[in-house]
Amino acid sequence: MRVLFIGDVVGGPGRRGLREAMPALREQHAPDLIVVNGENTAGGVGITERTANDLFGMGTGVITTGNHVYRHREAYDFLERERLVIRPANYPAGNPGRGFTVVEVGGMKVAVINLSGAIGLDVARSPFDTVDGILDQIDADAVIVDFHAEVTSEKVAMGWHLDGRVAAVFGTHTHVPTADGRVLPKGTAFISDVGMTGSRTSVLGVKVDQVLARMITQMPTRFETAEEDIWVMGAVVDVNEKGLADSFTQVMVPVPASVS
């Protein structure tokens, strides 16, 4: 069973770039399941039913999110209704949405879990305790984890914590692809951050001049999603019958300039 995971899709440019790249990605990798982090799909911050349906229309099977999931209030009811869009499981239990889902693909029951890091982000519970509790209760042949976290140390620690217990731990949130992608000794594919799907001529997806103005002057500045030099970033993992990873392949694909 093969999983294609796509990093944080930033705004309309990221969605358009992914739509353009997806046919070739599907032909090249033939994934059984496509998981996309969609928490920045709506104007660069947050997710809506419309932007989620845009991702589903491209063949996405499950959408994960992160700290911006609740930016748009109109999405709250959608998060309650749509079981294939998940939010961090270690958020307060009464918050809209769910922290994991299970889908049947490639002859396997695959659980996808969304977690938020506790360092530098607001959470209700430890991501380590939370994922342990979920693994104790779910019925699945393989487990994929999106760990949406701020610092690499916490992400690396989660990889080792789950090594041999899940098929893959994909780090998201920081938008910069790391060079540590691999299969850990007990069979869990891991990368600290898969990167983002959006403009590389930007600061984490935002127009460069606007971020520079904010950082240099420390004055309020309106941020807009950058539209040039769109790349699709993610990873592909082959999962065996034991529910562990046989391989890890990083994905970094430039999109033709005419699409942005």
**Identified catalytic residue from 68, 72, 148, 175:** 68
Q: What is the DSSP letter of 188?
A: -
Spacing of C-alpha 38 from chain mean position: 7
Q: Are 24 and 4 in contact (CB under 8 A)?
A: no
Q: Are 207 and 223 in contact (CB under 8 A)?
A: yes
Indicate if 68 belongs to the active site.
Answer: yes
237 contact partners, CB below 8 Å, separation of at least 6 = 2, 3, 5, 167, 168, 189, 245, 247, 248, 249
Express the helix, strand and coil content of the chain in percent, nearest 5 each: 30, 30, 45
Pick the closest to residue 234 from 188, 185, 171 (CA basis): 171
| Residue 7 three-state SS | coil
- 109 burial via Cβ count (<10 Å: 0-12, 13-18, 19+): middle
Cβ atoms of residues 219 and 210 within 8 Å: no
One-letter identity of residue 1:
M
What are the catalytic residues? 68
